[in-house]
Amino acid sequence: MQNQSGSRIMEFFSNTRGVSKLHLTDILTYLYLFLGTLLMFGPVLWLVFSSFKTPGELTRFPPRIAPYRQETAVVPGYDDPLPLFEVTMEDGSITTLARIRRVGLEAQMVDPANPEEVIRTSNTDLVPIESIVFSADNYREGIESFNFARYFLNSLVVTILATMLTLLVNSMAAFSLSKYQYRGRNTIFLVIISTLMVPISVILVPAFLIITEIGWNNNLLGVIVPGAATPTGVFLLRQYMLTIPDELLDSARIDGASEWRIYAQIILPLAAPALAVLTIFSVMWRWNDFLWPKIVLTRSELFTLQVGLNAFQGDLQIQWHLILAMTVLTILPITLVFGILQKYITTGIATTGMK
């Protein structure tokens, strides 16, 4: 039925073309969609490629897409590996030399095969020897100085606990607001949804005061609990639960089920699509949340990934090579989850998302 209607509606856009032949509008459509794909993924890919580059390579203009890295050689008598260059000698021959140091315009070079002799050349004639390397250096250095594991764990704890709490309290409230008649019900609902879109960012100061009075600043609870009573979640679930027929509840009551059992075993399974959507939203909100955690969590061992990432940027000097690597690590988990569940996520939001 749906398939049939789906194909018919297509005819609206395409009823002048033959069935098997590609029409010009089809070509344009695909062109747009492929350009769109490029636009959506291009920046992320550029980020990934850049994250493997050395700091020097990152400041290069014009930038090169692939991560080049200068080759080095360990020369006896020198502690650190020395960078390799191609040098045109006075006789016109080209040799590979390692640079010891640069003094003004002059460079002191050494032949790795003959480490005893120091050769002096002009620094401007050196051509660095490079190759494409996907090196994990930035990632290693970033993880060491950025405490990635800690932030990741904090983000994970916040996201999971907050999502569970959100699902529980929101579905209970939605159940009550959709399936019972009592005094004050409409008032409660109206007050909740009138703040539907008032974000915590507009009540920052007093919300912070309350967290302080409770003693929850620098406590993950201060991030987890306040956002759990989302008006959006209550609204979404209530609208969905209204479509569940009341007869189901009545017959369960006749069978002697308690109100709690009706909620947990009848309403919740039937509202699963809406709960799934709220789960997606909640995970997305919590994983990406920034402003509120930034204010509540001031000790770095409690930072979530987003807060840590921004603090990293706010440091004395922007270390792009580390920021890029850590950004890639931050988006990796959510990208993986999306890759696996994308079909469910997009259909879920499209069919139940916003009634």
Amino acid type, 134: F
In whole angstroms, give the CA distance from residue 143 to residue 189.
46
Place of tokens 């009573």: 229
Alpha-carbon torsion 188, 190, 194, 196, what sign?
Answer: positive
| Between 112 and 273, CB nearer to another protein | 273
| Between 92 and 184, CB nearer to another protein | 184
Place of tokens 């017959």: 251
For 151, half-sphere exposure in the C-beta direction (CA atoms, 13 angstrom radius) is 30
Length of the chain: 355
Q: How far is the CB of 91 from another protein (least distance, A)?
A: 26
| Between 60 and 113, CB nearer to another protein | 60
Q: How far is the CB of 242 from another protein (least distance, A)?
A: 7
How far, in Å, are 23, 36, 225 from residue 27 at the CA level? 7, 14, 50
Q: How far is the CB of 244 from another protein (least distance, A)?
A: 14
Amino acid type, 80: D
Name every residue whose Cβ is closer than 8 Å to that of residue 310 and which is 6 or more positions away in sequence.
290, 294
How far, in Å, are 27, 55, 83, 114, 130 from residue 86 at the CA level? 49, 21, 10, 16, 10
Q: How far is the CB of 224 from another protein (least distance, A)?
A: 10
Q: How far is the CB of 240 from another protein (least distance, A)?
A: 13
| Between 95 and 342, CB nearer to another protein | 342
What single-letter DSSP state applies at residue 319? -
Q: Which of 328, 302, 335, 345 is nearest to 157 (CA)?
A: 302
| Between 62 and 92, CB nearer to another protein | 62
Compute the CA torsion angle 28, 31, 33, 39 (nearest 10 deg). -140
Cis peptide before 63 (omega within 30 of 0): no
Q: How far is the CB of 227 from another protein (least distance, A)?
A: 8
Q: How far is the CB of 30 from another protein (least distance, A)?
A: 7
| Between 75 and 167, CB nearer to another protein | 167
| Between 43 and 81, CB nearer to another protein | 43
